[in-house]
Amino acid sequence: MLQEFSYQAPTTLKDLYSLLKKRAGKAVILAGGTDLMVEMHNNWIAPEMLVDIKKIRELGEIKFSRKEGLSIGATVVCTELIKDKNVQKYYPLLADAAHRIGSHQLRNRATIGGNLCTASPCADMGCSLLALGASVELGSADGVRIVALKDYFTGPKKTQIQKHEVLQRIIVPIDMANAEWGMRKLKRIKGHDLALISVAMARTAGVMRVGIGSCAPTPVVTVDLPASASLDKVKEATFKAVSPIDDVRASKEYRLFMTGEYVESVYAELTRGRSRK
């Protein structure tokens, strides 16, 4: 990696906003760096400036309130999310999903915000956060806006984030606290690997959603279904949401088949009352 770049590490959001406004399109945000460093090493990108956001205190916080729900700062790493008591108690699906990311060493460095900013179709956190109806908060010198996660992804490695904006936190609504849940991730090998497909389901007294990864250009989610929706209705909504392709890791047909299998198995857990809470 023989690249020249400048480095800035602002300590406040105001300073961060100012930097991004002045260097829009030329500065790249560094959080965990687990994807960014690979991209730079392979010369896929060559930023003029790296803006390290880990010194901004509020971006490293996990907060829970009974009014808003769960707030996950952009620089929270997987291990912190897994160990957080409120996450374990109210949103265990997120702890489970974060534990499926890479190796122990990677989870100590990779951030939840970075996972969403990379916007890979197989992003491990994508399907679980979609199933829980999460939103993201994007900030800039022009103000703050909230975008539903289902609208945030716009294509492979593309999002609604503008060049002068930063994803500063993820919000998981309070009405999904204590949801029944289940998750499956299909990999080529035992151990850590990218998902061939991933399926996460969350159900409360009022709604059921299925989030799916690696089966469309972005992570996708079903329309909101009633909690009492039949298996046929859930599968119908799931297949309507996905659009898998053939690639070097799996065929379209195999992805569709295993998506159906995983939806059936997780739905059976919820129906039999064996789902985890």
More confident residue, 186 or 137: 137
Same domain flag for 156 and 248 = no
Same domain flag for 68 and 131 = yes
Copy the structure tokens of residue 194: 């990218």
Is 114 a domain residue?
A: yes
C-alpha count within 13 angstroms, C-beta hemisphere, residue 151: 8
Q: What is the mean pLDDT of residues 126-139?
A: 97
Copy the structure tokens of residue 40: 């730079």
Is 110 a domain residue?
A: yes
Please say whether the beta carbons of 87 and 81 come within 8 A: yes
Please say whether the beta carbons of 112 and 121 come within 8 A: no
Burial of 185-196, coded b for 16+ CB within 10 Å and e otherwise, reads bbeeeeeeebbb
Is 257 a domain residue?
A: yes
Flag the least confident range among 49-58, 82-91, 141-150, 240-249. Answer: 240-249
pLDDT above 60 for 23: yes
Beta pairing, strands 49-52 & 27-30: parallel
Same domain flag for 71 and 117 = yes
Domain end marker among 148, 174, 200: 174
Same domain flag for 70 and 168 = yes
Single out the residue of 186, 179, 140, 174 nearest to residue 160, CA to CA. Answer: 140
Same domain flag for 64 and 157 = yes
Same domain flag for 48 and 61 = no
Q: Residue 96's domain is classified under what CATH number?
A: 3.30.465.10
Give the chain's mean pLDDT.
91
- Calculate the alpha carbon distances from 112 to 87, 218, 274 in Å: 13, 16, 28
- How many CB atoms are located within 10 Å of the residue 57 CB? 12
- Calculate the alpha carbon distances from 108 to 76, 79, 153, 203 in Å: 10, 5, 25, 30
Q: How confident is the model at residue 210 (pLDDT cuts 50, 70, 90)?
A: very high
Give dist(CA 50, CA 175) in Å, integer. Answer: 37
Residue range 227-246, pLDDT digits in tens: 999 999 999 999 999 999 88
Same domain flag for 102 and 196 = no
Whole-number pLDDT of residue 277:
45
Q: How confident is the model at residue 273 (pLDDT cuts 50, 70, 90)?
A: low
C-alpha dihedral sign at 156, 124, 199, 197: positive
More confident residue, 33 or 210: 210
Give dist(CA 151, CA 163) in Å, integer. Answer: 18
Whole-number pLDDT of residue 106:
82
Whole-number pLDDT of residue 104:
82
Residue range 40-53, pLDDT digits in tens: 888 888 888 899 99
Please say whether the beta carbons of 198 and 184 come within 8 A: yes
- How many CB atoms are located within 10 Å of the residue 166 CB? 24
Same domain flag for 159 and 75 = yes
Q: Residue 14's domain is classified under what CATH number?
A: 3.30.43.10
Look up tokens 């703050």; give the residue: 144
Same domain flag for 197 and 114 = no
Whole-number pLDDT of residue 4:
85
Give dist(CA 201, CA 241) in Å, integer. Answer: 14
Whole-number pLDDT of residue 1:
54
Is 276 a domain residue?
A: no
Flag the least confident range among 4-18, 94-108, 169-183, 257-271. Answer: 94-108
Is 1 a domain residue?
A: no
Count of structural domains within the chain: 3
Copy the structure tokens of residue 27: 């500065």
Q: Residue 230's domain is classified under what CATH number?
A: 3.30.390.50
Domain end marker among 125, 154, 174: 174
Same domain flag for 150 and 226 = no
Is 31 a domain residue?
A: yes
- Calculate the alpha carbon distances from 212 to 122, 134, 138 in Å: 9, 14, 23
Flag the least confident range among 39-48, 121-130, 158-167. Answer: 39-48
Residue 48 belongs to what domain range?
Answer: 6-52
Is 277 a domain residue?
A: no
Is 208 a domain residue?
A: yes
Please say whether the beta carbons of 151 and 119 come within 8 A: no
Whole-number pLDDT of residue 168:
97
Domain end marker among 110, 145, 174: 174
Same domain flag for 206 and 245 = yes
Give dist(CA 64, CA 170) in Å, integer. Answer: 12
Q: How confident is the model at residue 36 (pLDDT cuts 50, 70, 90)?
A: confident
Alpha helices in 24-111 (DSSP H): 36-41, 78-83, 85-90, 92-99, 104-107
Same domain flag for 10 and 119 = no
Flag the least confident range among 77-81, 222-226, 234-238, 273-277. Answer: 273-277
pLDDT above 60 for 276: no
Beta pairing, strands 143-148 & 135-140: antiparallel
Please say whether the beta carbons of 182 and 211 come within 8 A: no
